[in-house]
Amino acid sequence: MTTSLLSTRSMTKRYGGLLVTDDVTVDIQPGELHAIIGPNGAGKTTLINQLSGELSPDVGQVYFQGQDVTSLDIEKRVRLGLLRSYQITSIFEAFTVRENVVLSAAGAKRNAFSFLKPMLAHKNLTDIADRVIEDIGLVANQNIPAGELAYGERRQLELAMAIAAEPKFLLLDEPMAGMSSQESTVVIALLRRLKGKYGILLIEHDMDAVFALADRISVLVYGRIMFCGTPDEIRNHPEVKAIYLGEEE
């Protein structure tokens, strides 16, 4: 428990007689990008919901920075720095990109403001927002209303708002879903820049993205982690090919 940033022990979740996560134990190190892959219905979303605090496991524990957070709700996990991007991102379409990011930074610091102008007067918040906007690559769009952004740019804004909350760990559930190839390329480059700055758990169906980004990959099948290894180990594993990658052994 001492070296892992995020870990689970024997995490199990049932819905009636259906076993959705089955004795899941995983350890993710600081700065690691760990991908979870598996066929539809494998239990990936239920797994990430238990890590974020949206669901409680029936059996097992979730640890973050060595602390047992199994009983903590979403808000308390976010305050510790463990968050899933949409937990704190409520995009205000009439507000600019910069204003949205400043709002997220304010919320993370528990600053409550009735009006946007007083909030924008807080230099510590605008400094955070400006740094994140530059890191994410949204400088050219920072003064555009969020409602005018393309789909891929909105997903970038969601990431920017999550990062403005100064997390220690990001839970990303299919961040490239619905994107064009060009949009996915932008987000892959963005996640590559973020690697090492945060612990990241990535659930993604785009295998090109997974193999390009992940330090390690866990394969989830019927709620159980069947294999865990480097991208090369997973790519060349005959059973993974047969079960998930669509190739015969």
CATH code for position 6: 3.40.50.300
SS3 of residue 42 by DSSP: coil
Residues 6+ apart with CB under 8 A from 148: none
Query: 192 vs 35, 158, 172, 189, 197, CA distance in Å?
Result: 13, 17, 14, 5, 10
Domain check: are 135 and 237 in the same one?
A: no
Q: What would the mean pLDDT of 58-69 be, rounded to a whole number?
A: 97
The whole-number pLDDT of residue 115 equals 47
Count of domains for the chain: 2
SS3 of residue 113 by DSSP: coil
Domain check: are 53 and 124 in the same one?
A: no
Domain check: are 68 and 117 in the same one?
A: no
Backbone angles phi, psi at 8, to 5 degrees: -125, 155
Asked whether the whole model's pTM tops 0.85, one would answer: yes
Domain check: are 39 and 116 in the same one?
A: no
Give yes or no for residue 85 having a pLDDT over 60: yes
Q: Which residue's entry shows tokens 């807080």?
A: 122
SS3 of residue 33 by DSSP: strand
Domain boundary (131, 166, 201) is at 166
Give yes or no for residue 122 having a pLDDT over 80: no
Give yes or no for residue 48 having a pLDDT over 80: yes
Domain check: are 62 and 47 in the same one?
A: yes
Domain check: are 60 and 183 in the same one?
A: yes
pLDDT grade for 2, boundaries at 50, 70 and 90: very low
Q: What would the mean pLDDT of 25-54 be, rounded to a whole number?
A: 94
The whole-number pLDDT of residue 117 equals 52
Domain check: are 57 and 177 in the same one?
A: yes
Give yes or no for residue 157 having a pLDDT over 80: yes
Dig out the tokens for 157 from the structure. Answer: 């804004």
Domain check: are 185 and 242 in the same one?
A: yes
Distance CA(249)–CA(241), nearest Å, equals 7
Domain that holds residue 150: 90-166
Domain boundary (166, 198, 213) is at 166
Domain check: are 99 and 130 in the same one?
A: yes
Domain check: are 99 and 136 in the same one?
A: yes
The whole-number pLDDT of residue 144 equals 96
Q: Which residue's entry shows tokens 């199994």?
A: 70
Decide if 46 contacts 58 (C-beta within 8 A): no
- Mean residue pLDDT across the chain: 88
Domain check: are 147 and 220 in the same one?
A: no
Dig out the tokens for 12 from the structure. Answer: 């199990």
Domain boundary (138, 166, 194) is at 166
Backbone angles phi, psi at 100, to 5 degrees: -60, -45
Domain check: are 191 and 226 in the same one?
A: yes
- The count of other CB atoms within 10 Å of the CB of residue 129 is 25
pLDDT grade for 182, boundaries at 50, 70 and 90: confident
